[in-house]
Amino acid sequence: MNVDESNILLRRIYFRILDLDGNLVDTAASAPPAGTIQVTQNGTALTNGAGVFVLVGSGLYYYEASLLETHIPGFIGVVFSRTGFQTCISSDEVGQIYTIGQTDVTRLRLPFTIYDTSSPAQLATGATVTVASDLRISVNGAAYADAAVTLVEVGAGLYYYQGVAANSSVGGTIALKYASAGFTTTLITQPVIGAAGSITGSILSLTPADGSLLNPDPEIARFVPIIARLQCGTGQLPHIFAQIGSTRWTIYDGVSISPFFGDHTTVSALGGDQFNVSILPNGGWWRSSISIKFISGTEMT
């Protein structure tokens, strides 16, 4: 979303909520107590959300951030926490981050969640970089190297990686890996894109990150959507394809969503040739091998 986004439709951050047994539920927004939704603006301490928490249906909700909550460039993080439900964390970019040549380090923060190694895995607090190799970075597919920068804990299992100007010196993709004893390995990716006005088709954000688990618990992973923010070329629409196991699907052809994905998949235009995409087949994922391709003239990366 844009900084100081005036369109309320573009201030909505979507996520799914499950009960403690892993079932999608439609009751989480019914008379929620104070503190059910907490928000961080680019890593600030979590505070009670000032926006609106709304049920869409079939376990899908959105938090509509207040105008003031979109004032700080970087990211907005949303934490849902309520007795009887699983804690859920979601985030969205505010303004452009990780553009080539970016020197404002407040726009070089990557939010992500860390889980412990219990069964089922739980969102973890207290994760730190105890040795340099706990936090490693890869640039455009190069070998991982120790990331000599900061891991910052926001709270409730939400963290962010504080990058440095060198991370945005060239275009492409950086990959960040956190692996420390007592915590599930976390992997996130972030594109480094051209400056405003020169952006071509690319994946601006992807959750979960390419190559990572939807969730450590298979029962939860079945109902976790793949969420992406896409920057298409000027005047272009996204086309989305999937291979699940050996079966290939056209999820979105630029006009309509495949009926097999239609109940839980959305493609939302944000303006500026950007789109938010949430992908989940009807009934959830039935295989663990999932390959999604986003096309805008050429394949997006």
What domains appear along the chain, each with residue ranges and CATH number? Answer: 1-95 (2.60.40), 96-197 (2.60.40), 225-301 (no CATH)
**pLDDT of 200 higher than 70:** no
The percentage of residues in the chain with a pLDDT greater than 70, rounded to a whole number, is 96
Rounded Cα gap, residues 86 and 22, in angstroms: 8
Mean pLDDT, range 29-55, rounded to an integer: 97
Number of C-beta neighbours around residue 216 at 10 A? 17
pTM strictly above 0.95 = no
DSSP 8-state class, residue 109? E
pLDDT value of residue 234: 67
Mean pLDDT, range 20-40, rounded to an integer: 96
36, 5 contact by CB (below 8 A): no
Rounded Cα gap, residues 171 and 174, in angstroms: 9
Rounded Cα gap, residues 22 and 279, in angstroms: 19
pLDDT value of residue 225: 94
**pLDDT of 173 higher than 80:** yes
pLDDT value of residue 198: 46
With cut-offs at 50, 70 and 90, classify the pLDDT of residue 210.
Answer: confident
pLDDT value of residue 197: 45
pLDDT tens-digit map of 97-156: 898 888 899 999 999 999 999 998 999 999 999 999 999 999 999 999 998 778 999 999
Rounded Cα gap, residues 134 and 90, in angstroms: 24
3 state DSSP class of 11: helix
Rounded Cα gap, residues 21 and 186, in angstroms: 24
41, 91 contact by CB (below 8 A): no
pLDDT value of residue 195: 55
